[in-house]
Structure 1
């Protein structure tokens, strides 16, 4: 989630292009909406024209328009994001193609509720792409949280402790096949060893539209690994009262992310893989009690 070295310049330029396109789309939508409201009239209605204004009246009118709070303007949060990525030598870990998979879903669903396991150099981007929604980040490193909060106080993040380790993955995979882990329950009250039970209460209470698993650390044997994060994301989606949850898992080139995403998010629910990112769409299992844990 937070590489410390510089990426290639062309990746940075491409990423900036994504943000510029997003901003232009936002402004264009606002402009078109304002224009359509002003020009709307019922069929057959005759237009009336006011007398031409004097030069002083024109100046007063122009001044009023310039100061109007309804004028289209890039939101401050989006402006800060553009400036940050335009001047930063550090770019997000995900590639442009990988980011685009999630960005397309956010374009359809935002503003929405977006839960991200991990806090990194891409966090400001995700929060901005979900402008107007709620984006929450869960991070294992308290010192890193404080560092990011000083730079970006507008981001909502919480510290999370993981008890698992990568070297326990095989055993946890066997545990996950048991009846206590396939029962559709709120992870907070689950008896499954894979369920994360120490998350902030608001994380359990919120119904998430998107969940991304890009943490915790999982590239060495004693690291926490993403076994419990992947399982918990899947159970949050299944336990939702209705609707579909889009779940994304990054670094599926690694064994844990590969096997656990296929087992607990289900290969049958996978919609796309781009590079090291997989996208799953998991329906509510509360709407259909006879729905199997994974589709046939």
Structure 2
């Protein structure tokens, strides 16, 4: 009886021990599974957080780019200089002195050659337009009237303007035409070192040192006998064009060719053989470099 009871107690202990061991095993298994799930969830959460962070950064960068509009091919914001030009001509009652057809001649050349170096003899109501049409290039204006320069600078400080003095007057044109036929005036070279009386020597040094792709002669005044004439401006434009590096061509425009000086001097020193077209009072010449051929005549022979 005692041995049976002892055996029952021992069996009960084994059962309890087995249950305890099973409980411990289950507990350990559950703990490991929970840890694995937690690690996996944490990993997923971290991955999601990183993705969210990257997405947020990309979104912020995109928003910043949209707001700042950097200078890239994707940027569509209009440059401030062009915006100013649009506002000025939209609200102004003063129109440029050149007609639409005359302006279109130069604008067509600028469309092909800009951004480029554009030198303009004269500062007027069309200056802001020329600078805008040559956006990204360099446009320089030479003006004889200092008071007018200051007035324009206050209104449009971004325009590159310089004061220039003209020594010759309209009533001296006939004598200067004869001077221009001499060998010192047909030689190719830098105008500031030329012995020709028609060469302008008092311009800013940067004007001589820049290779101009386009030159517009629309100054000085030139409309009465005692006014500064355009003889030297036209001659110097032609000399700059001929003195450019080999293989270059310069487009030169002369306005007001209905007047005697502009008519005769543009034909004589820019050459009828180099003239491409005339629209109204505007003539367009395309002058090649003469430095690649020292035997090239000053003006080509007309066919």
The TM-score normalised by the length of structure 2 is 0.77
CA pair 223-61 structure 1, distance change in 2 beyond 3 A: closer
- Bigger-Rg structure (1/2): 2
- Distance in 1 separating the partners of 2:284 and 2:59: 55
- Find the counterpart in structure 2 of residue 73 from structure 1: 77
The secondary structure found in structure 1 opposite 2:161 is: strand
- Distance in 2 separating the partners of 1:62 and 1:116: 42
Give 1:118 deviation, angstroms: 0.2
Q: Does 1:262 align with 2:264?
A: no
Q: Does 1:94 align with 2:98?
A: yes
Aligned-pair RMSD on alpha carbons?
Answer: 1.9
Match of 2:255 among 250, 258, 263: 250
Residues 162-213 of structure 1: CA deviation (Å, up to 9, x unaligned): 1101001000000000111111111100000000000000000000000000
- Find the counterpart in structure 2 of residue 126 from structure 1: 130
The secondary structure found in structure 1 opposite 2:278 is: strand
Gaps of 5+ in 1: 1-55
Q: Does 1:213 align with 2:241?
A: no
- The 4+ residue runs of structure 1 with deviation greater than 6 A are 56-62
Give 1:67 deviation, angstroms: 2.9
- Find the counterpart in structure 1 of residue 27 from structure 2: none
Give 1:69 deviation, angstroms: 2.5
- Distance in 2 separating the partners of 1:146 and 1:209: 27
- Residue correspondences, number: 243
Q: Does 1:138 align with 2:142?
A: yes
Relative to its length, the structure with more helix (as a share) is 2
Q: Does 1:295 align with 2:300?
A: yes
Residues 210-261 of structure 1: CA deviation (Å, up to 9, x unaligned): 0000000111000111000000000000011120000000000000000000
* Structure number with higher relative contact order (C-alpha < 8 Å, ≥ 6 residues apart): 1
Q: Is the 8 A contact 2:107 2:133 kept in 1?
A: yes
Gaps of 5+ in 2: 1-55
